[in-house]
Amino acid sequence: MTKSEQHIASAFDRDLEGIQALIMKMGGLVEAAIHQASRALEERDQELAVLVRAADEQIDRLEERVNEEVARVIALRAPTASDLRTVLSVLKISGNLERCGDYAKNLAKRTTVLVQMQPVGGTAKSVRRMAREVELMLKDVLDAYIQRDVALAEQVRQRDQDVDQMYNALFREFLTHMMEDPRNITAAMHLHFIAKNLERTGDHITSIAEQVIYLVTGKIPDESRAKGDRTSFAQEDEDIS
């Protein structure tokens, strides 16, 4: 390798380290958003929910910075095939993190509505348990990304089935509360969409795990993992005002 090539490779590595730092900062903010949004729901803390909604702007700005840095690196460094794979994987990971942040924001938005209503049994605690599992998946997938740990990424990918099962159980719980007392219907529907947000967050974390595997091996995993979501309400939640 010539001195010029060594300089380009060294500059690319520095650029990639900077982008990776942005990804980890994004991941930390998304982790915090999921944790705080679920806590706000369980504790009926409207002020905390408002803070989660406001914090989403920082996650969005970080994704924009990642996009800008990736575009700059591609333009200036002309990365080789393997380096380009790394850069494009980072781009997809940041997009998945941004969507996870959006789901946490939506959870917080629905919480500000739910605090005005009567609690529906112990459903908030159940939702928080699901949120905790999603939060742990996110922590592990970020560790897998930093360590380039394929085995850990595959574990995260398989654990999405547990999140799907938790969602299905919550769905049945919400239906039971709605049938027992029609006054629970509105609150239970909000809770359902919160649970659906968390289930979709698990899907995006799974996508990050698959990108980690692709980054290390050059291959996207086969879809051998059956989805566990068997409910009739399979659409994504809307961003409510």
Tens digit of pLDDT at every position of the chain (241 positions) = 454 444 445 778 888 899 999 999 999 999 999 999 999 999 999 999 999 999 999 999 999 999 999 999 988 877 777 788 888 899 999 999 999 999 999 999 999 999 999 999 889 999 999 999 999 999 999 999 999 999 999 999 999 999 999 999 999 999 999 999 999 999 999 999 999 999 999 999 999 999 999 999 988 887 655 556 655 444 455 554 4
- Kindly report the pTM of this predicted structure: 0.88
Domain contains 160: yes
User: Is 105 contained in some domain?
Assistant: yes
Q: What are phi and psi of 121, to 5 degrees?
A: 55, -140
The CATH number of the domain holding residue 37 is: 1.20.58.220
Give domain status of residue 229, yes or no: no
Distance of CA 217 to the CA centre of its chain: 23
131 occurs within a structural domain: yes
- 175-to-38, 188, 194, 233 alpha-carbon distances in Å: 21, 8, 14, 12
Predicted local confidence at residue 170, as pLDDT: 96
CB-CB contact of 49 with 37 (8 Å): yes
CA distance 216 to 203: 20
Helix, strand, coil % in the chain, rounded to nearest 5:
85, 0, 15
Residue 237 covered by a domain: no
Within 10 Å of residue 238's Cβ, how many Cβ atoms?
8
In this structure, is residue 226 part of a structural domain?
A: no
Rg value, the chain, Cα: 20
Q: Do the domain assignments include residue 172?
A: yes
Domain that holds residue 42: 3-217
For 59-75, give the secondary structure using H, E and C: HHHHHHHHHHHHHHHHH
Quick check: is 224 in a domain?
Answer: no
Number of domains in the chain: 1
Single out the residue of 85, 86, 101 nearest to residue 37, CA to CA: 101
Q: Buried b / exposed e across 26-51, counting CB within 10 Å, b at 16+? A: bbebbbbbbbbbbbbbbeebbebbee
pLDDT of residue 63: 97
